[in-house]
């Protein structure tokens, strides 16, 4: 027989929940480039209390944002399915969803640009979202909803650019990302009028390897 993990004492569980709650707020407002000391301060606990539960910021990120990554993957699959009958609407709404999530949670914004996390399930959600978004782009492009030169990696360009928009304007123009999104969506939509610079070979191979 294997022994089961002992349940946390009531005070220890309260501390753990306080840490997770505080981390969620700090990550959303400041991104992932924070220290465990910063989170301990926000949670009102000693830093040693955090280190007993989470050895690194990445371990805490995996716990705090795993559910958000699951919803992100689910939403990606829903958009890919919707693209069968409503290709432009599916793509447009998906883009707005991602950019809004970036605007409301800077840690999520960091994650989708540069994925991190120690949980196997966490990585599974990220891979699921990637595969579904590739299908979404293919269906929207094949239907003529996207310009012929649109490539899946353009979503990566978009999320990187939006992260920069948020960092530069969020305090003075919190809805600036919406205007930015409307501009780029207009440029993404088919048929398009100019020939685009090809995406990098590395990005092309990344998509081809998933097929």
Specify whether 98 is located in the same domain as 187. yes
What domain count does the chain have?
Answer: 2
| pLDDT digits (tens), the chain, 211 positions | 455 555 556 677 788 888 999 999 999 988 888 999 999 999 988 888 888 888 888 888 888 888 889 999 999 999 999 999 999 999 999 999 999 999 999 888 888 888 765 577 778 998 999 999 999 999 999 999 999 999 999 999 999 999 999 988 878 888 899 999 999 999 999 988 888 888 888 888 878 776 6
Q: Which of 27, 95, 33, 10 is nearest to 66 (CA)?
A: 27
Specify whether 114 is located in the same domain as 196. yes
Specify whether 76 is located in the same domain as 150. yes
Whether residue 11 is contained in a domain is answered as yes
CB atoms within 10 A of CB 73: 20
Specify whether 203 is located in the same domain as 140. yes
Whether residue 86 is contained in a domain is answered as yes
| Euclidean distance between CA atoms 172 and 175, whole angstroms | 9
Whether residue 193 is contained in a domain is answered as yes
Whether residue 187 is contained in a domain is answered as yes
Q: What is the CATH number of the domain that holds 135?
A: 1.10.357
Specify whether 69 is located in the same domain as 50. no
pLDDT number for residue 118: 57
Q: Quick check: helix, strand or coil at residue 146?
A: strand
Residues 6+ away with beta carbon under 8 Å from 17? none
Residue whose structure tokens are 């699951």: 70
Whether residue 201 is contained in a domain is answered as yes
Residue 72: Cβ-neighbour burial (10 angstroms; 0-12, 13-18, 19+)? buried
Residues 6+ away with beta carbon under 8 Å from 155? 95, 98, 133, 137
Burial profile 5-19: b = 16 or more Cβ within 10 angstroms, e = fewer: eeeeeeeeeebbebb
Whether residue 60 is contained in a domain is answered as no
Specify whether 103 is located in the same domain as 165. yes
Specify whether 7 is located in the same domain as 43. yes
Specify whether 102 is located in the same domain as 126. yes
Specify whether 99 is located in the same domain as 117. yes
Structural domain span for residue 140: 65-208
Specify whether 89 is located in the same domain as 178. yes
pLDDT number for residue 1: 47
């Amino acid at each position: 027989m294997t022994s089961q993990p002992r349940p946390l004492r009531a005070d220890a569980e309260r501390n753990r929940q306080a840490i997770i709650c505080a981390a969620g707020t700090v990550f959303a407002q400041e991104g992932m480039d924070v220290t465990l000391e910063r989170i301990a301060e926000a949670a009102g606990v000693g830093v040693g209390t955090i280190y007993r539960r989470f050895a690194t910021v990445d371990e805490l990120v995996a716990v705090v944002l795993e559910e958000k990554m699951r919803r992100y993957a689910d939403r990606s699959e829903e958009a890919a399915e919707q693209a069968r009958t409503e290709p432009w609407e599916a793509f447009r709404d998906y883009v707005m969803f991602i950019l809004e999530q970036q605007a409301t949670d800077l840690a999520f914004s960091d994650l989708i640009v540069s994925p991190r996390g120690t949980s196997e399930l966490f990585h599974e959600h990220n891979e699921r979202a990637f595969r579904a978004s590739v299908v979404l782009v293919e269906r929207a492009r094949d239907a003529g909803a996207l310009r012929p030169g649109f490539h899946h990696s353009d979503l990566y360009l978009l999320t990187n650019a939006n992260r920069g928009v948020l960092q530069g304007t969020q305090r003075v123009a919190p809805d600036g990302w919406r205007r930015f999104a409307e501009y780029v969506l207009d440029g993404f939509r088919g048929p398009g009028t100019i020939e685009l610079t090809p995406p990098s070979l590395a990005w092309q191979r990344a998509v081809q390897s998933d097929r």
